Structure 1
Amino acid sequence: MEQGQQGRFAGRSVIVTGGSRGIGKGCVEVFASEGGLVSILDIAQEEGEQLAESLTASSTGTVVYRKCDVSDPEELKNAIEAVAQQFERIDCIVNNAGVHPPATPIDEQKLADLESLLRINFISTYLGAQYAIPHLRKTKGTIVNMSSMTAVLGQDQSSAYAATKGAQLSLTKSLAVELGPQGIRVNAILPSNVDTPLMRDWAATLPDPESALKRVSELQVFGRMASPQEVGKVALFLATDDSSFVTGQGIEVEGGASLDY
């Protein structure tokens, strides 16, 4: 069977951190549907194992799960090395793992919480790239960092979160300059509102969840949120030769939410 029939990522290896749920899961599903060798690095073991088993059985790709706390540098490095050993290559890392804390005014932000957020959202992205680069040099691979529209627009009472997302975007641009001569492309995705379990968990904490979700949906010109798979398709584009002349960019996948401000 020719590669085109197997899929656009057939025979190539991709790591998705935080791939058990939400946007990460959408990325895993898209890469698996295109024949990829997909490695989920996540702390959510049950969900990750179930997803890997299901997609390996139902798609043209192969999906494996590795338990990994991305905030632990040693765990992250060991997991990336294990992927490289298993598949004998790494063609892309999608640094997706992250958290969004509750709305917190800056004068109530605790230093310990800020440091934890930086470790999960930004340092894991930095180290994920660092640990994957020796393998990406061999494949002329790609790095995709999952940032956020808050990196460029800000967000009320979420200064710490927005700052970590801005750091991801700045890292993307700097690494693109540094790694371009070595054949490695680096890009970021900046989603707006995506219909994920975390989004629905947030809405469930409010007095009228359905009204809250409707309000968030109407921020986009399409009157709806993105699906995780729609974001995953952008990640696939950035990981393939379809985007061979694209690097250092923050691709705003925001359904027009920033327009007509």
Structure 2
Amino acid sequence: MKDLTALVLGGTGDVGEGIVRSFLKHGATVIVPSRSQVKGDALRDYVGDIETGTLKTVDGLFDTPAEAEALRDRIAALSSRIDLIVAALGGWSQGFAITDLGFDQWERILRNNLTTHFLAMKTFVPLLASGSGTYVHINGQSAEGPHPGAGPVAAMSAAQRSLTLTLAEELRPSGLKVHELLMPPINTRRRISHHHDRPEWPSAEDIGDYVATLIDRNDDVVTHWIEPKKI
């Protein structure tokens, strides 16, 4: 990944920050959109010990098409070439059966865990280097089966997977690659601080290392199931 430019969507989040650390260690230039300068500054502090790579943060939202397009233009002004996009977006929500979930809660989960991914694909994929760029979608294994108490989030994961697989087929003639990573639970800093981590789970930085390996070997496989102890 040395000398590549990567755009990490969700790079200030629990999983995204580890991916950013990994990419910097591999010598990449990493662009991270942030909803606020505070989040961008916190990320800079977190990776401040890394002496390789270059981190560029840019403030901006992409909750709506107009916001996404404005952010796209700011990113394009930072770099004329994007080699890799990683989407580590959305969040987990549980505690309600489907029949007990409020409509407002459903709408929020739909917006945060699916609409955001649609806007990311539609708006930022055109920034990828022609014929050689790669889009990586970070997903959970919740996309694969029932999850009582977390049904809406699992449904969004399944829908994200469908979108990503379709994107892979639609982009295939262009030479652009797409990878769908299905993750087990990840030992994020937040999870570790709450003592909810497990030794067999990968860290967020491990996920970044895995993506770097895919890029370095020019992998053609679309779907990757990441099992505990397999990274």
* TM-score, shorter chain, exceeding 0.5: yes
1:83-109 per-residue CA deviation (whole Å, 9 max, x = no partner) reads 122111111111112111232110111
In the alignment, what sits opposite 2:217?
242
Equivalent runs, 1:221-240 vs 2, <5 Å = 223-238=199-214, 240=215
| Structure 1: distance between partners of 2:118 and 2:71 | 15
- Structure 1: which 5+ runs fail to align? 1-7, 204-209, 218-222
| Structure 2: distance between partners of 1:23 and 1:164 | 18
Identity percentage of aligned residues: 25
| Structure 1: distance between partners of 2:44 and 2:11 | 10
Change (3 A) 1:244 1:256: closer
Which stretch of structure 1 is more off in the superposition, 136-145 or 85-94?
136-145
Matched, 1:253 2:226: yes
In the alignment, what sits opposite 1:3?
none
Residue type of the alignment partner of 2:150: S
**Corresponding residue pairs, total:** 230
TM-score normalised to structure 2 length: 0.88
In the alignment, what sits opposite 1:61?
53
Change (3 A) 1:137 1:45: same
Of 162, 168, 171, 1:170 maps to 162
Matched, 1:30 2:22: yes
Of 107, 117, 128, 1:136 maps to 128
Matched, 1:181 2:173: yes
| Structure 2: distance between partners of 1:87 and 1:57 | 24
- How many angstroms does 1:170 deviate by? 0.8
| Structure 2: distance between partners of 1:197 and 1:114 | 28
Residue type of the alignment partner of 1:14: A
Residue type of the alignment partner of 1:122: L
Residue type of the alignment partner of 2:202: A
1:78-135 per-residue CA deviation (whole Å, 9 max, x = no partner) reads 2222112211111111111211123211011122221221222222112212112222
1:185-212 per-residue CA deviation (whole Å, 9 max, x = no partner) reads 11111111111244357x5xxxxxx5xx
Query: Larger helix proportion, structure 1 or 2?
Result: 1
- Structure 2: which 5+ runs fail to align? none
TM-score normalised to structure 1 length: 0.79
- Aligned-residue RMSD, C-alpha: 2.4
In the alignment, what sits opposite 1:157?
149
- How many angstroms does 1:56 deviate by? 6.6
Of 96, 117, 131, 1:104 maps to 96
Larger Rg: 1
Matched, 1:121 2:94: no
**Paired residues of 2:26 and 2:53 also in contact (CA < 8 A):** yes
SS in 2 for 1:60: coil
Residue type of the alignment partner of 2:2: F
